[in-house]
Structure 1
Amino acid sequence: MNFHKTSRDAFADAEAFIRENLVVLPVPSIAGISLYTAHPGSGLRRLAGDDDGPPPYWAYRWAGGLALAHHVLALPEAVRGRRVLDLGAGSGLVGIAAAKAGAASVMSAEIDPNGIAAIGLNAGLNGVTVMPCGDDLVGGAPPEVDLVLVGDLFYAREIAERVAVFLDRCRTAGIEVLVGDPGREFLPLARLDPVAEYAVADVGSAAAPARVYAFVA
């Protein structure tokens, strides 16, 4: 007879793995936020269940998310008192920054269940409350939020197109959208107004400019 772990058991295993194999480090150049951070000995492919696949995206700090985190902490009025969605949240950096900057509520949406485990751990580590969401929100109606923060979701054509359609629905519903990105291939520049620029380090790269944009209707 085969016994399969329940989703609750798998979630607990992911939390335990993250605690035991990742290290808590401050986020470079962002004061007051630390995250469980991947390193060469983390063995993240074991957690993902694919020894030959790429490391999971959620476990690394990407330039667009770093730029957004910088932005909301530098300009807390952008999120203060507002209901915020962090779309493609990874390990939760942007949502944590929004919560620290005074957001009324934060939903952190990430479709990788191991990322959801990391979001909860990282939020607790930083003393903030966020609501992790494992649903693929881009296929549905906009949630009841005032602001959507989108970091690094324009790296592949298919997902970039789906995200842009979802953001259109958000804008039609009166929801403000800010995008953080270092200039990935499928960034819809014709739909974006530059708001700010920050020097941040992308995965495996030295510090370079990444911009925060307003997504326009």
Structure 2
Amino acid sequence: MTDIFSTFANGFAITAALIMAIGAQNMFVLRQGLQREHVGPIVLFCVVSDGILISAGVAGMGAALELVPGLSLFLSLGGACFLGWYGAVAFRRAATSSSMQVAGGGGKTLVAALAGAAGFTFLNPHVYLDTVLLMGAVSSTIAEQLRPVFVAGALTASVIWFTALGFGARFLSPLFARPAAWKILDILVGTMMVTMAIGLLVHAFDLA
């Protein structure tokens, strides 16, 4: 019983540490939560994606990814392009009236919202290099019969975090009723995305 609890807690703690850091995916979920736009589907998508990636890592996919030539370079270039584009969009919103829209005013379709969530999830090379590889490495030290418990702990952390981030964002609505707050958020998002894109490009040049 102690082994089951400690294994569950281990999976929970590692995943919580990985996903709670402010990143591109979290900022996207936060913004959608503030606009109260397709929050449920986006939260579900993020949780299911985490489940797929974590399960892949535990199943040994991380070791296989290390053997694929050029994969890290491809992911870095693709991620840099996507993050750079989204950063430019955020800066454009901050400079125009579209940044002043409050909850429910974004007008993003469900398909577009899910496409954005997919981009921030699967075009981020750190998802593979950190999450998949790390979870795979940690789970390799766990007895095979306890690995489903490890995955369950990891998914519990994912469900709690994305649910709180997406649906809890509405409590910040009074702050974001002011246009200036949206401008500041978009400037922060744009700065973060462009900075991450530059970091990925530097990483790509190091790999080339």
Establish whether TM, by shorter chain, passes 0.5: no
* Higher RCO (C-alpha 8 Å, min separation 6): 2
Name whichever structure is richer in helix by fraction.
2
- The structure having more radius of gyration, on CA atoms, is 2
For the aligned pair, the TM-score class normalised by the smaller chain equals under 0.3
Provide the TM-score with structure 2 as the length reference.
0.27
